[in-house]
Structure 1
Amino acid sequence: MSATPTATAPVTLHPRAGGAADTLALLLERRLPGHSLEAPFYMSEEIFRADLAHIFRRHWIFVAVAPQVPEPGDFITVDVGGDSVLIVRDDDMALRAFHNVCRHRGSKLCDAHQGSLGNIVCPYHQWTYDLEGKLIHADHMGETFLREQHHLHKVHLRELEGLIFICLADAPPTDFEEVAARMRPYLAPHKLAECKVAAQVEILEQGNWKLTMENNRECYHCVGNHPELTVSLYEHGFGAQPGPQNAEGIARFEQIVADSCARWEAMGLPSVRMEELDTRVTGFRTQRLPLDRAGESQTLDTQVACKKLLGDFTEKSLGGLSFWTQPNSWHHFMSDHVVSFSVIPLSAGRTLVRTTWCVHKDAVEGVDYTVENLTAVWNATNDQDRRLVELSQAGVASPAYRPGPYSPFTEGLVEAFCTWYVDRMRAGLSAA
């Protein structure tokens, strides 16, 4: 049984110097395990700024997929708080990330979200950088000017089997390499880097980014809210309370999982769960699970959305490989397509959710797939989740709100997210 939450008085962050940090430390210290966070974590702009400082500027953040920048000179820009990051593929096909700021007088270099360029040219005074970030032209600067002292500032970047992560910290968390090594066997067979982007959709949620992530980390709400998504999900695949009323269904589902995983493992597809969402700095979770009915893909009829399968696959029924990373992403890898989600905080009450669907690079739209069918499930689910997040944001703004208990059967991964968040915020405050 969950402990009964202690009735805690609402907390207001103090404007005096040091007051916000002191109050944040108090809120973190008194967080009740197994319960949702107190209202200021979702409402306070001061805590939002602390989130940017201690979470989004210190950890590995998922921002894009490699197929968004397939050729030399292709670029994307990503904004995280006040930081704009330029990601570009260089002439040697390597991915590089830079602060999207000219070394002359600070102009933004690339204003578009996506495009292609030969060199990186500042629109203000035409200072020019190559695709490795080296300053190669700066007119009228005199004979004593040293170009080599004015290259673009680099941002740490890692590509994990087609997934692009950046870290804004001077010294990024070192455990990413271990996570990557463990995840590569799971992700590599899908060959995401050899895909193309079939669709990308951005939605703006009027809610705090943590509510977006908490909502993703459970399917307690799925029945009744996600009819399109649950078509392909087994009823007992997203948690059920043990007991006589559920015993037969749970046992049947566990047997289906065991049989499916044995078959996939024999095919060279790792499937067993790895779960370290709250026990390491770069928290992650993965598992390949069977899909219900036709069992091929997350579509309205559970059949593949794209006739041309990924990688070297010849088998359609490969389940759904889920990969979650703290603090801001989740991904679903199937036999025919990959769908990735990136969560970017904009303010205490506004969050950007960017969803990207990828198919085999040789798949032909209108022949092998249609965008409407490919995106139908998650477009519907994202819109439903947006509404739920916004209802939650409105609720936590009420003076009547107090942290409520999580279900131990269906919301354990929400607790893992909140535990990770609290631990990382405490570490950030300690290091400040």
Structure 2
Amino acid sequence: MDRSDLSRVRRPLEVANGLPNAHYIDPTVFTEERQAVLFDNWAGLGVGDDVPEIGDAVPLTFLGMPLLMVRDRAGKVRVFQNICRHRGMILVDTPRKIEGAIRCPYHSWCYSTEGKLVSTPHVGGPGQNTHEGIDRALLGLIEVRSHIWMDVVWINVSGTAQPFEEVNADLIARWAEFDKPLHHGGADSRFQLAVNCNWKLAVENYCESYHLPWIHPGLNSYSRLEDHYHIENAGHFSGQGTLVYRQLKGEDGKSFPDFEDLSDKWDTSAEYITAYPNVLLGVHRDHTFAIILVPEGPERTIEHVHLYYSDPKTNSELRARNTEQWKDVFEEDIFVVEGMQRGRHAVGFDGGRFSPAMDGPTHMFHHWVASQLERHRTPLAAE
């Protein structure tokens, strides 16, 4: 299939093909998707707990772009391009606390945590810290549009997306019961997985429950394939839910405290949704998680996993067990996504076909990616 022809991807589920091989292995297509799929939409960058206290600053690289996440003096999380407006020098190269200002290590231009340029030493000559040709008001840090929901820091690099609350209105409403303080579990509730695959394969695998009996036999022993249901919202998110969620219990028989005021549905159910493009979310009566997929190239992705609870003082032993349990589940998927990645080098593969009964959420994601690319190639193209 010609990579430029995505019409077969956007066919109805029963007759559609998946995205062509080039969308997983071709650097040129990767660059196109970087803009059309990730920069032009609300992509996940990190979590608020990366900068838990005022003045905390963390440098991040997202698709080659150097960024700086800062919690400013008002407690707001901001994202800036991590460069000085003078000569483009990287400002912060390791996580640290900003005690005064963000100082460029090259010529000492200084910025507030709100991004304002506050000092330009010797810019007008020795001892002259101002110059009529340098308007500090116009030379603040370049701020990247950002929004926090479920503690995920979402960014819209291009600045062209509709407001986050509009784009994700249906998902926010669906999980309104979890719109309450989420407490990160701390150091034992975050981990990373490096996988040798295109980021989209991680999304595709997460969206569906079809693989459970063979890839997750332990999970499938109590949350069976037939206990799952599809979650589909065209153009925004897709995933799966289960009618059988089994809480983890300690030796004393106690489990994590539930989130308050949940409806009866959540007594036994849990849901796992991909918020397009790159954030995998899970909600349960007693904990949530977020997985942020950060592409490092066409064939490599870092999965940043964070777990949250209703109470900041959960049992540390039980918390560590929960983290390890989820890590085991996510690691079971690695050989699958890496195997599919290797398969994308088979020149005869046409993108594959979908199970009309089982692959709806995955097809919906493919359809959305194709629509973003077609809009990028032909701005007037409609959904």
TM superposition score normalised by structure 2: 0.84
The CA deviation at 1:167 is 0.5
Kept in 1, the 8 Å contact 2:237–2:365? The answer is no
1:420 counterpart (368, 373, 379): 368
Q: Distance in 1 between matches of 2:77 and 2:66?
A: 16
Aligned pairs for 1:30-429 within 5 A: 30-31=8-9, 33=11, 34-112=16-94, 114-118=95-99, 119-142=101-124, 143-144=130-131, 145-174=134-163, 176-177=165-166, 179-180=168-169, 183-184=172-173, 186-189=175-178, 191-197=180-186, 198-238=188-228, 275-276=232-233, 278=234, 280=235, 283-285=236-238, 289-292=242-245, 295-296=246-247, 307-310=256-259, 317=267, 319-360=269-310, 362-364=312-314, 366=316, 369-371=318-320, 373-429=321-377
Task: Please list every run of 5 or more consecutive structure 2 residues that lacks an aligned counterpart in the other structure.
Answer: 125-129
* Aligned-residue identity in percent: 23
The CA deviation at 1:356 is 1.0
Corresponding residue of 1:28:
6
Distance 1:360 1:76, change over 3 A: farther
The CA deviation at 1:132 is 0.5
Segments of 4+ in structure 1 off by > 6 A?
Answer: 312-316
Distance 1:286 1:394, change over 3 A: closer
Distance 1:192 1:171, change over 3 A: same
Q: Distance in 1 between matches of 2:113 and 2:269?
A: 39
Distance 1:195 1:41, change over 3 A: closer
Q: How many residues align?
A: 365
Q: Distance in 1 between matches of 2:358 and 2:54?
A: 45
Distance 1:410 1:181, change over 3 A: closer
Q: Secondary structure at the match of 1:155?
A: strand
Distance 1:49 1:205, change over 3 A: same
Post-superposition CA distance 1:104-131 (Å, at most 9, x none): 211222223x443223222333322111
TM superposition score normalised by structure 1: 0.75
Distance 1:126 1:313, change over 3 A: farther
Decide which moves more: 55-64 or 143-152. Answer: 143-152
Q: Distance in 1 between matches of 2:221 and 2:267?
A: 15
Distance 1:394 1:109, change over 3 A: same
Distance 1:208 1:362, change over 3 A: closer
2:53 corresponds to which letter in structure 1? E
Task: Please list every run of 5 or more consecutive structure 1 residues that lacks an aligned counterpart in the other structure.
Answer: 1-7, 12-23, 240-272
* CA RMSD in angstroms, aligned pairs only: 3.0
